[in-house]
């Protein structure tokens, strides 16, 4: 897809979708949304960038390897459940703290969701980029 | 500091969780964490094997400690997120789960050590050890969870990691094997998911202890359909006849240590699930299904034995030995009495050790002689007598002859089958054992005693330590079976009387 219109729009679209994916991720705390759907939106943002500028450019733009992103997410999600080790509660127990400075509650639930977001974004964009790059070869 | 929510004691567990209870989740969570870490650092090739081996050693220790606690204190429970069961996911470890978790962790450790010396750089680069650790995590999760949907999730975890293990290396044969393995196993787990959805629709709960309490009270529900669906789904995972075809098509293709781990442990996951779900949740339906299970068990045994006899390729022959073993374990399920189940459980433990050792042995033979075909092999006895001795012990073990580990579980099963009046099932066990001894004898004769036809290309690739240790374990299980029999009997008692399992989850409120 090398049309001028698409190549002009793609960066803005990608940026907007990434922003929207974070919005969906945070919104999922109390309303429909969450890490999974947010991750999918982020992955489609990378996929659009890949269609417009090719896979190598997308990989450079992502900076980290998608699989590494997914691994980091898995680690974050798993670690977030371990807070119970220190408070005498079981695995994956929600821990909440009020923080007057930021203005909203911080909890390990949102950290778990961020982990899910990274797993989905990393894994799906890895698949998407792999599929797009074979298309380039033909 | 953490602020606890103000929700009342009617929704949350208010008793603090002692640190020691984390043993319940350690066998699954620890390798999951490290697996994620290994994915992140997958480019540091020299880190992969040491980190994986250390982790699996720790996981083994944790599983053994867990087994010791379960042995002395009974079933242990940890319910996720402090939600009262059945709303939180309860990890519930009884003796059966703890025994299998120990066996899985130790064999995963052995295979990781064996793989650390041989798996090539490119496979490491694509995350061989991360996949191995994650597969072990999934299998341990399956063995320790007390929630049927969560069990499905762990099935997916180890299946997806095992696809990875099968395919790294990317030879044509591997891609072909992985395709068959992947498609057929995905069909199996889809059936598992469908059955679980139906079950939730009927009972309204996914906690296995809760299902055990509530199912007997339900009238007029398609429970037979459910039990049959579970039998099919888990039978597929266990490679029971007639849904076994994926196993001989895929298990000979990957890295040798992978075959050892898959053959040793992964089919037993299906057998474990059959025992857990059919015996504990559907005891009434299992009685109805017993003839079907007996036929499946008998045909699986005969198919495994005849298949092993027909193969010239060593790895494929061991693959059919795996299937034969699955048939023997399912015979325990078909008998259904406490001694029968105990025999099946003991056989599963024996089979995990002996089959893994057999695959490793085939790997050593392959590397020494450059071939795995019975047509080409020969003269290994003169070349490496110690390997011959190891092979001989394994032949006895797999064939069910003394002093190998396969003898006692088969004795238990034959006794139990006769007591239950299942004459022809007894005959199937015995005849398949005889055929298996012939197949294994043929292997031993041709590989070791036949004079070498070609010049021996003896390549030294280090002493096979893991193989040696597994062989010693197999002899110990054969010569000193009392602790294993005692454990299997206690585990089978726990299966047949789920009261202790239910009480452990629900406590006094049950």
Q: Could you give the ipTM of this predicted complex?
A: 0.89
Contact check, Cβ <8 Å, A71/B37: yes
> Is A106 in a helix, a strand, or coil?
strand
Contact check, Cβ <8 Å, A90/B36: no
Q: CB neighbours (10 Å) of residue B453?
A: 10
Contact check, Cβ <8 Å, B18/A88: yes
Chain A within 8 Å of B40 (Cβ-Cβ)? yes
- The predicted structure's pLDDT at residue B332: 94
CA of A73 to nearest chain B CA: how many angstroms apart? 8
Contact check, Cβ <8 Å, B2/A72: no
pLDDT tens, position by position, B352-399: 999 999 999 998 888 888 778 888 887 777 778 888 899 999 999 999
CA A8 centroid distance within chain: 24
Contact check, Cβ <8 Å, B5/A79: no
Distance between the two ends of chain A, CA-based, in angstroms?
Answer: 14
The DSSP output letter for B80 is G
Residues of B in contact with A97 (CB under 8 A): 1-3
Query: Is there a contact between A24 and A120 (Cβ–Cβ < 8 Å)?
Result: no
Q: CB neighbours (10 Å) of residue B54?
A: 13
Residue A135 clears pLDDT 80, i.e. is over it: no
Nearest beta carbon to residue B2 from set A79, A81, A97: A97
**If you measure CA to CA, which chain B residue comes closest to A81?**
B81
Residues of B in contact with A105 (CB under 8 A): none
Structural domain spans, chain B: 19-281, 282-479
> Is A96 in a helix, a strand, or coil?
strand
- Cis bond before residue B242 (omega within 30° of 0): yes
Contact check, Cβ <8 Å, B81/A94: yes
Nearest beta carbon to residue B17 from set A71, A84, A94: A84
List Cβ<8 Å contacts ≥24 apart for B71-76. B71/B95, B71/B98, B71/B487, B74/B500, B74/B504, B75/B494, B75/B500, B75/B501, B75/B503, B75/B504, B76/B21, B76/B23, B76/B24, B76/B504
Nearest beta carbon to residue A90 from set B2, B39, B82: B82
CA of B13 to nearest chain A CA: how many angstroms apart? 9
For residue B455, count CB atoms less than 10 angstroms from its CB and return exposed for 0-12, middle for 13-18, buried for 19 or more.
Answer: exposed
Residue A138 clears pLDDT 70, i.e. is over it: no
Contact check, Cβ <8 Å, A89/B17: yes
Mutate to test the interface with A, among B39, B51, B167 (most CBs of A within 10 A): B39
Chain A within 8 Å of B9 (Cβ-Cβ)? no
For chain A, the residues whose C-beta falls within 8 A of a C-beta of chain B are 67-68, 70-72, 74-75, 78-79, 81-85, 87-98
Contact check, Cβ <8 Å, B40/A72: yes
Q: b vs e for A62-78, b when ≥16 Cβ sit within 10 Å of the residue's Cβ?
A: beebbbbbbbbbbbbbb
Query: Is there a contact between B75 and B93 (Cβ–Cβ < 8 Å)?
Result: yes
Task: Please provide residue A97's backbone torsions phi and psi, each rounded to the nearest 5 degrees.
Answer: -130, 140
**If you measure CA to CA, which chain B residue comes closest to A79?**
B33
Residues of B in contact with A80 (CB under 8 A): none
- The predicted structure's pLDDT at residue B52: 93
Query: Is there a contact between B277 and B234 (Cβ–Cβ < 8 Å)?
Result: yes
Residues of B in contact with A96 (CB under 8 A): 2-3, 5
Contact check, Cβ <8 Å, A71/B39: yes
Residue A136 clears pLDDT 60, i.e. is over it: no
Give, for all 510 residues of chain B, the pLDDT tens digit: 344 555 456 778 778 888 888 899 999 999 999 999 999 988 888 888 899 999 999 999 999 999 999 999 999 999 888 888 888 899 999 999 999 999 999 999 999 999 888 777 777 778 889 999 999 999 999 999 999 999 999 999 999 999 988 888 778 888 888 888 999 999 999 999 999 999 999 999 999 999 999 998 988 888 999 999 999 999 999 999 888 888 988 888 888 889 999 999 999 999 999 999 999 999 999 999 999 999 999 999 999 999 999 998 999 999 999 999 999 999 999 998 999 999 999 999 999 999 999 999 998 888 888 778 888 887 777 778 888 899 999 999 999 888 889 899 999 999 999 998 888 999 999 999 999 999 999 999 988 888 876 655 556 666 788 899 999 999 999 999 999 999 999 999 999 999 999 999 987 554
**If you measure CA to CA, which chain B residue comes closest to A69?**
B40
With residue B399 as reference, give the H or E element that holds it: helix B385-399
């Amino acid at each position: 897809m090398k049309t001028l219109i698409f190549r002009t729009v793609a960066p803005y679209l990608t940026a907007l979708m990434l922003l929207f994916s974070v919005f969906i991720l945070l919104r999922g705390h109390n309303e429909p949304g969450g890490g999974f759907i947010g991750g999918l939106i982020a992955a489609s943002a990378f996929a659009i960038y890949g269609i417009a500028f090719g896979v190598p450019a997308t990989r450079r733009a992502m900076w980290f390897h998608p699989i590494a992103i997914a691994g980091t997410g898995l680690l974050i999600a798993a670690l977030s459940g371990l807070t119970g080790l220190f408070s005498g509660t079981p695995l994956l127990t929600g821990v909440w703290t009020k923080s007057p400075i930021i203005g909203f509650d911080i909890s390990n639930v949102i950290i778990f969701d961020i982990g899910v977001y990274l797993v989905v974004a990393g894994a799906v964009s890895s698949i998407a980029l792999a599929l797009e790059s074979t298309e380039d070869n033909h | 500091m953490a602020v606890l929510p103000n929700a009342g004691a009617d929704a949350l567990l208010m008793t603090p969780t002692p640190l020691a209870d984390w043993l319940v989740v350690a066998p699954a969570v620890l390798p999951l964490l490290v697996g994620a870490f290994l994915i992140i650092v997958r480019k540091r090739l020299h880190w992969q094997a040491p980190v994986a081996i250390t982790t699996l050693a720790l996981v083994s220790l944790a599983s053994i400690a867990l087994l010791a606690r379960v042995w002395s204190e009974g079933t242990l429970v940890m319910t996720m997120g402090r939600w009262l069961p059945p709303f939180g996911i309860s990890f519930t470890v009884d003796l059966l789960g703890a025994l299998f978790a120990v066996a899985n962790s130790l064999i995963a450790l052995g295979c990781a050590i064996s793989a650390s010396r041989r798996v090539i750089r490119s496979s490491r680069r694509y995350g061989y050890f991360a996949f191995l650790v994650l597969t072990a995590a999934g299998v341990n999760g399956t063995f320790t969870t007390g929630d049927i949907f969560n069990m499905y999730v762990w099935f997916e975890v180890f299946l997806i990691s095992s696809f990875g293990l099968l395919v790294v290396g990317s030879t044509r044969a591997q891609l072909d094997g992985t395709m068959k393995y992947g498609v057929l196993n995905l069909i199996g787990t889809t059936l598992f998911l469908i059955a679980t959805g139906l079950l939730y629709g009927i009972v309204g709960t996914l906690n296995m202890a809760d299902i055990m309490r509530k199912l007997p009270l339900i009238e007029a529900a398609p429970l037979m359909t459910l039990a049959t669906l579970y039998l099919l789904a888990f039978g597929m995972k266990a490679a029971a006849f007639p849904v076994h075809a994926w196993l001989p098509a895929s298990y000979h293709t990957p890295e040798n240590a992978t075959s050892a781990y898959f053959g040793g442990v992964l089919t037993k996951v299906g057998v474990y699930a059959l025992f857990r779900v059919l015996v504990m949740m559907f005891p009434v339906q299992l009685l109805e299904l017993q003839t079907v299970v007996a036929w499946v068990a008998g045909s699986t045994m005969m198919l495994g034995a005849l298949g092993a006899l027909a193969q010239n390729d060593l790895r494929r022959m061991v693959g059919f030995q795996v299937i034969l073993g699955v048939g023997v374990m399912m015979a325990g399920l078909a008998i259904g009495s406490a001694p029968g189940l105990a025999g099946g459980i003991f056989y599963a433990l024996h089979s995990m050790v002996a089959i893994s050792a057999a695959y490793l042995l085939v790997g050593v033979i392959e590397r020494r002689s450059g071939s795995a075909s019975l047509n080409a092999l020969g003269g290994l006895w003169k070349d490496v007598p110690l390997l011959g001795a190891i092979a001989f012990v394994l032949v006895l073990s797999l064939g069910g002859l003394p002093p190998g580990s396969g003898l006692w579980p088969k004795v238990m099963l034959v006794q139990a089958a006769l007591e239950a009046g299942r004459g022809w099932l007894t005959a199937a066990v015995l005849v398949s054992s005889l055929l298996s001894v012939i197949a294994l004898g043929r292997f031993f004769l041709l590989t070791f005693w036949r004079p070498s036809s070609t010049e021996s290309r003896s390549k030294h690739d280090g002493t096979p330590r893991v193989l040696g240790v597994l062989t010693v374990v197999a002899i110990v299980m054969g010569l000193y079976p009392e602790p294993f029999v005692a454990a299997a009997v206690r585990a089978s008692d726990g299966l047949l009387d789920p009261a202790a399992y239910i009480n452990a989850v629900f406590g006094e409120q049950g």
